[in-house]
Structure 1
Amino acid sequence: MDVLHFRIEAVDNTEPQPAAAKLRLSGDWQLGDSPDGESLCAAVPENCKTLVVDTDELGEWDSSLASALLQLTHWCEQQHIELDTQQLPDTLQQLLGLATAIPAYQPSSSNAREHFLIRVYKTANSQWQGLARTLIFIGDASFALGKWLRGDAKTRTQDILFFIDQVGPRALAIVTLIALLVGMILAYLGSVQLRQLGAQVYVADLVALGMVREMGALMTAVIMAGRTGAAYAAQLGTMQVNEEIDALKTMGVSTMEFLVLPRLLALVFIMPLLCVYADVVGMLGGALVATGMDVNFSQYILQTQGAVDWADIATGLIKSVFFGILIAVAGCQAGIDCGRNSDAVGMAATNAVVRAIVYLVVADAAFNILYDKLGI
């Protein structure tokens, strides 16, 4: 204990250990030269019930004194000791008041004690409410789409063209890269077995059918989910934070027709085009690999033409249209349901991508089962 800075004086000496004590602060308390809060706590008598802080001999002080007294305050609360700080300077009392106005966060242990069945019920109820909100959102979007088809919606054509430009031409670079690599990967995977049979030319069939029926639509949708779905959620979430959506509702403007429908239509129009583009680029990527396996380009093109028909192309295009709807629904719903702070915007973008990918995988599996049952 540094006696130049503080000392403990007994107030009540009727007991072996004083029930009340005075902490007398003295000298200058400067950062780096003064005791810390642990020294103050260690000097308090064990049986002390009341501690009075006396600053009559206190000189100059800075934040180090406030920090030490704050630590002493928390320690006294834990030890159930009454701390009297009425003699402190007004400014120091104000600092301690601000520091102790809001209690420290204490994680609740109620969740750990909660019954397992109650947690299961709460989780199931939360998922059910989320599903109900999604179905309501889809219904509102369908109603707005019907009004647009009748020409009664307040959806502006320039808004649709604006979002088409965002989700279409600006996505060509990443779609090209991913589709090219996917086509090459399919060709390399097929070549491992086909080389053993001397049937390298059938790499064209594998790549063409794989891209047209499955990978072209699915990989393009995954790219758009991460690129466009998150952008939709962030845009609408920021508008929710800035209360722009509330302003539109106050003016009687339908958010579905003015905000959601242009984004949904843009994806519906662009996804089939991007799917066809990805199919072509993927086939070219397969051709790059096939030419290294003694398959000339002409053979590859002829084999591709024989392997793919219009029914195969239609299966991928139908998938792409529904994938575009699912991406728009996931992104726009996450943005509309966003909270009122910046953290909520980030969570909305994350939820949009996660939901969209889940929707895509489930929908793709459903389409494949349906195609198999129909013999397509």
Structure 2
Amino acid sequence: MQSDAYTIEMETSAQVTAALQGPLLCVRVGGRWDMEAPWPPDAQNALRQAADPRVAQLEVTSEALGPWDSSLLVFLVQLLKTAHARKLMVRTELPDGLERLLRLAFAVPAKEGAGKTTQRPGLLAELGGRALGLPPKVRDFLDCVGRANMRAQDMLTAMYECGVLALPIISLTSLLFGLILAFVGAVQLTQFGAQIYVAGLVGIGMLRVMGAIMVGVVMSGRVGAAYAALIGTMQVNEEVDALSALGISPVDFLVLPRVLALTLMIPLLTIYADLMGVLGGFVVGTLMLNLNSMEYANATVQMVPFKHVLIGLVYGTVFGVIVALAGCYQGLRCGRSAQAVGRATTTAVVHAIVGIIVATSIITVICNVLQV
């Protein structure tokens, strides 16, 4: 007889009873809950009654509850979420295992940005939110940089990766940009028979600012993105957490060598890019404009003061800091998914290029004010 009773209980379908007693809503669950079976009709009624403004308290109990799976847990979570959203007083009397699962379900808050929404704030609200969120980001950025120590071997490796390995792409882009500058200048200067001034145009343009900008933009896409992707992937694989657990500062081990290496190498790459750009102008001047090679070289030396070289080095140094910090910062603040790595890489490149443009504007204004 006991076996027959147990079989009957096992076969009883899921049951939900919702009774409203004044401001108290009593919900009882029972029967067998199975993912393959639909919820009982009274389940939706219980959820609707929990949202009733007359309800101030919720009591959830079990009665003749048979085997259950996650379908019962999903129902109870939805019911309690409705109650918590309305700030109802909640009391539960459920089996211990179910109580523990419910506590676990509400113990972990939802991750920010995990839920999608189609409603977007207005332009002023979005600008205001970004402005208010800027100071914490600045403090977080300064804390990320901080004071750090590093190994010399790490810095040498980073210098090789961001310097020597970047020479081919820097050579190509700078040479072509020098060609472009020469062609653009020649369009107007040849009308007045002043082709020789192409040497000064290319020399000043490349040495003063364009060489550094070209190097900065190329290194943003090549090195800044690589830094963000590398450190971001380590963040996803919890390698950064492992370093912290071993007592090794991630800033010391990952950030500082790369920042210093790129800060030192971009000025050197800028000088190399300047030479390649001048070479590009030399090719156009001698082969396309029929200028004498010695004449072009002498014109370049006479028309381009040495101060433009120094100003270009200032640009390059600032760009190196911007590119390295943008890549490393976005990598360290990367999320824990493959999508977050891609987002961090894209953000690092965008921030680096925007930073280069803003820094160029500021330094240019300062140079004009100082008349240098």
Both structures adopt the same fold (TM-score exceeding 0.5): yes
Cα deviation code 1:263-315 (max 9, x no counterpart): 01111221111101100000010111111112121111000111222211100
Q: Which residue of 2 aligns with 1:368?
A: 364
**Unpaired segments of 5 or more residues in structure 1?**
1-68, 81-93, 145-152
Change (3 A) 1:160 1:120: closer
The answer to whether structure 1 residue 343 and structure 2 residue 350 are counterparts is: no
Deviation at 1:246, TM superposition (A): 1.1
TM score, norm. by length of structure 2: 0.68
The Cα RMSD (Å) is: 3.1
Distance in 1 separating the partners of 2:122 and 2:203: 54
The answer to whether structure 1 residue 122 and structure 2 residue 118 are counterparts is: no
Distance in 1 separating the partners of 2:172 and 2:188: 26
Out of 260, 264, 267, the position equivalent to 1:269 is 264
Deviation at 1:136, TM superposition (A): 3.3
**Unpaired segments of 5 or more residues in structure 2?**
1-35, 46-68, 79-113
Deviation at 1:321, TM superposition (A): 1.0
Change (3 A) 1:373 1:197: same
Change (3 A) 1:201 1:118: closer
Q: Which moved more, 1:247-256 or 1:229-238?
A: 247-256
Q: Which residue of 2 aligns with 1:278?
A: 273
Q: Which residue of 2 aligns with 1:136?
A: 143
Deviation at 1:178, TM superposition (A): 0.6
Distance in 1 separating the partners of 2:315 and 2:256: 20
Change (3 A) 1:118 1:189: closer
Q: Which residue of 1 aligns with 2:22?
A: none
Percentage of pairs with the same residue: 42
Deviation at 1:195, TM superposition (A): 0.8
The answer to whether structure 1 residue 312 and structure 2 residue 308 are counterparts is: yes
Deviation at 1:254, TM superposition (A): 1.7
The answer to whether structure 1 residue 241 and structure 2 residue 236 are counterparts is: yes
What does 1:1-376 correspond to in 2, within 5 Å?
A: 108=117, 111-112=119-120, 118-138=125-145, 140=146, 143-144=147-148, 153=149, 155-291=150-286, 292-376=288-372
Distance in 2 separating the partners of 1:281 and 1:232: 26
Change (3 A) 1:165 1:115: closer
Distance in 2 separating the partners of 1:296 and 1:326: 41
Cα deviation code 1:7-38 (max 9, x no counterpart): xxxxxxxxxxxxxxxxxxxxxxxxxxxxxxxx
Deviation at 1:125, TM superposition (A): 2.7
Deviation at 1:116, TM superposition (A): 6.4
Change (3 A) 1:285 1:254: same
Question: Aligned partner of 2:348: which letter?
Answer: A
Distance in 2 separating the partners of 1:119 and 1:213: 38
Question: Aligned partner of 2:221: which letter?
Answer: G
Q: Which moved more, 1:276-285 or 1:309-318?
A: 309-318
Distance in 1 separating the partners of 2:122 and 2:366: 42
Distance in 1 separating the partners of 2:361 and 2:201: 20
Q: Which runs of 4+ in 1 moved over 2 A?
A: 105-109, 114-138
Distance in 1 separating the partners of 2:354 and 2:230: 21
Distance in 1 separating the partners of 2:329 and 2:128: 24
Cα deviation code 1:19-75 (max 9, x no counterpart): xxxxxxxxxxxxxxxxxxxxxxxxxxxxxxxxxxxxxxxxxxxxxxxxxx99xx89x
SS of 1:200's partner is coil
Q: Report the number of matched residues.
A: 278
Distance in 2 separating the partners of 1:329 and 1:117: 29
